[in-house]
Chain A
Amino acid sequence: MNALEVAASVRAGATTAVEVVAECLERVATRNAELNVFIHLDAEGALASAARVDERVAAGASLPLAGVPVALKDNLCVRGQPTTAGSRILAGWRPPYDATVVGRLAGAGAVALGKANMDEFAMGSSTETSAYGPTRNPLDPTRVPGGSSGGSAAAVAAGMVPVALGSDTGGSIRQPAALCGLVGVKPTYGLVSRYGLIAFASSLDQIGPFAHTVAEAALVLEVIAGHDPLDTTSLPEPAPELSSHLDDGVAGRRVGLVRELVEGADPEVLDAVRRAAETLTRAGATVEEVSIPEIKLGLSAYYLIAPAEASSNLARYDGVRYGLRVDGPDVEAMNVATRTVGFGDEVKRRIMLGTYALSAGYYDAYYGQALKVRTRMIEAFARAYARVDTLLGATAPSVAFALGAKTQDPLAMYLSDVFTIPTNLAGEAAVSVPFGAGEGGLPIGVQLLGPARSEARLLAAARVLEAEGGR
């Protein structure tokens, strides 16, 4: 099921949104118990929304995503619907407002089926830190789907929906896209409004799409992108044109294969990246090997900056206004009890790490130093883009790993984000596109990186790889 085909068919009256949604709900019913993809399903609401889409189509509205079912990562606020960010501390919370992207999807005729599982507050790379249990990879249920947007990726990979939204703070769209054999886009920081996205690390978070194909991802991104006055950090410009550039190709483009973005990857992953480079060369690009040593500092900088911002963003979960409250004799005791019970270990680890990095006496050595590394990272990428248009590397060091393989070793888990983090620190764009398979026939993703606002170019390059290496 392809989003473009669904929308065209609903617009043409060949099928109805209600039929499409009902069919998807059946697929959810078949596999959700096994995979734990949706942690909240709104079947009734989805069918009602679909009926309204059908009415709008009948009234002549031309909706780009007419009747297209979508899964929303559970950190996106939907008015009146449970929104937990995968955390026990928000159990039962129903936001009184919609995230900007949720409104834009609905305006374009998409129908949200419900909320997809995620690592708690998007902190994780395997969707195992969710308070609502792990999500399994539809391609091999003994393995993780990646994370933190693992539920969104799994929903698309399992055929429950054609497209989904996730959020990417350090790779949380691209890595699960790679592990589930999907296209995933981490847009330029500020391209998509964060209003209504439950914050993990504000200066790094971006919302982006999952899809089976580049064209579907491009269409969804066009719908959700563009300036939003409710997000001060949103870029002051309309959504870019992406779909019309998909067939631009890569002829004449200069591509840099980044040594540091394949170092330490499994041989089969390295091999896939090499073959991707050859494919781009055959399509008319010039590929050269480049080195950006600063990339190696990314992991350390990220694991200071993101937890620091998170420690502050998550302070509001104090039991006073919404969500969980565990009572105590006084308000401080109540705060402590609520947070101790409400947060899982990974969230506690990051809150403490971030609190430490910001606290008196350590700020300069840790947080302050990390912000300077960020400057160096941005400068290093700028130097690379002075020579090449696009950078190429691996998305993740390996194919999907087994459930539980890294849960006892936080640092090992953190290392699975090593190739994706630099883009977030730089605020730039990147796409993960499936390219070949590895161990057990599991998909491998390769990553295309570009400067800010380079989405059209990256998607055109991804399309070249898709034509060669896609299914």
Chain B
Amino acid sequence: MERLSRAEVAKVARLARIALDDVELERFTDQLAQVLEHARDLEALDLAGVAPTAHPHGLINVVRDDEVRASLDRAEVLAQAPDVVEDRFAVPRIIGEAP
């Protein structure tokens, strides 16, 4: 892999909804590049045929019964919200519909 570029870090920051000024972009690029540099030891490994492990233990089929449990008290939920209108969570205008 090429060394991590500023453009890549800027793109990742946009995806993660974090704003970086030029100084931060420079610094984060350097620091992340260092960590990725360290991760090069993985790149070299031949792991073809090795199954990935997403979970340490092989539990399967953990399900619950379809039984209703009490929901939270709405007042308690909305008390934590930054802005509420008509018992709903209010946000500034949304640009663009969900994908």
Mark A residues whose CB is within 8 Å of B. Answer: 93-94, 96-97, 189-190, 203, 229, 232-233, 235-236, 296-297, 299-301, 303-304, 311, 315, 318-325, 327-337, 339-340, 343, 348-349, 351-353, 355-356, 359, 365-366, 368-376, 378, 410-411, 414, 425-428, 452
Contact = CB atoms under 8 A, between A and B. Distances in A.
B45 to A, nearest CB: 7
Contacts of B72: 96-97
Interface residues of B, number: 51
A300 B39 CA distance: 5
B18 interface: yes
Contact of B31 (A304, A410, A427): A410
A91 B76 CA distance: 17
Closest CB pairs A-B (n = 6): A427-B56, A371-B52, A325-B82, A372-B47, A300-B39, A372-B50
Contacts of A368: 52
Nearest to B37: A411
Q: Do most interface residues of chain B lie in helix, strand or loop, or is the interface mixed?
A: loop
A397 to B, nearest CB: 16
Q: Do most interface residues of chain A lie in helix, strand or loop, or is the interface mixed?
A: helix
Interface string B82-94: 1100000101111
Interface string B1-32: 10010001101110111110000000010011
B1 A297 contact: no
B19 A355 contact: no
Given A236-B59, A331-B95, A332-B17, A96 B45 contact: no
A300 B42 contact: yes
B68 interface: no
A94 to B, nearest CB: 7
Given A321-B80, A330-B95, A331-B93, A189 B56 contact: yes
B34 A411 contact: yes
12 contacts: A203-B56, A321-B80, A325-B82, A334-B92, A352-B12, A356-B4, A356-B12, A359-B11, A369-B47, A372-B53, A373-B42, A426-B56
Nearest to A92: B80
B16 A351 contact: yes
B39 to A, nearest CB: 4
Contact of B41 (A300, A343, A428): A300
Nearest to A371: B52
Contacts of B39: 300, 303-304, 366
